Amino acid sequence: MQSVEKTAAVFTFGCRLNTADTGLMMDRLVTAGYRVIELTDGCDAPDLVILNSCAVTAGAEHKCRRMARRLRARFPQARIVITGCAATPPGGEHLAAEGIADAVLPNPRKRDLAALLGTGSGTLESGPVFHEQACGRFPFRSRAFLKIQEGCSNFCTYCIVPYVRGPERSRAFEEVLADCEQALAGGFAELVLTGVNTTTYCDRGRRLPDLLAAIAAMPGDFRIRLSSTEPEMSNRELIDVMRENPRICRFLHLSLQHGCDRVLKRMNRHYTAAEYADFALAAKAAIPGLSLGTDVIVGFPGETDEDFDTSRAFIREIGFANTHLFTYSPRPGTPAASFPDRVPAAVAKVRYEKLAGDAAAAQRQFLERCYGTDLPVIFEEVRPDGTQTGWSDNYVPVRVPVGMFPLGKIVKVPFSAAYEGGH
The model's pTM = 0.93
Give residue-wise pLDDT tens across range 275-334.
Answer: 999 999 999 999 999 999 999 999 999 999 999 999 999 999 999 999 999 999 999 889
pLDDT over threshold 70, residue 125: no
Neighbours of 70 (CB within 10 A): 12
| Per-residue model confidence (pLDDT) at position 1 | 42
Lowest mean pLDDT of 92-96, 133-137, 256-260, 366-370, name the range.
92-96
Residue spans of beta strands (DSSP E) within 167-232 = 169-171, 190-194, 202-203, 206-207, 223-226
pLDDT over threshold 80, residue 43: no
Give residue-wise pLDDT tens across range 190-246.
Answer: 999 999 999 999 999 999 999 999 999 999 999 999 988 888 777 788 999 999 999
| Per-residue model confidence (pLDDT) at position 306 | 98
Domain 1-120 has CATH 3.30.70.940: no
Q: Parse the chain into domains and list their residue ranges.
A: 1-120, 371-419
Peptide bond into 332 cis (omega under 30): no
Q: Are strands 397-401 and 387-392 parallel, antiparallel or unpaired?
A: antiparallel
SS3 193: strand
Lowest mean pLDDT of 2-16, 349-363, 402-416, name the range.
2-16
pLDDT over threshold 60, residue 262: yes
282 Cβ partners below 8 Å, 6+ apart?
Answer: 236, 239
Whole-Å CA distances, 324 to 26, 256, 313, 315, 327: 30, 10, 17, 12, 10
Question: What is the percentage of the chain residues whose pLDDT exceeds 90?
Answer: 74
Average pLDDT over residues 135-162: 94
| Per-residue model confidence (pLDDT) at position 108 | 78
DSSP string over 136-163: ---TT-SSEEEE-EE------TT--HHH
Q: Measured over all CA atoms, what is the biggest interatomic distance in the chain, rounded to whole angstroms? A: 75
211-242 burial, b at 16+ Cβ within 10 Å, e below that, comes to bbeebbeeeeebbbbbbbbbbbeebeebbebb
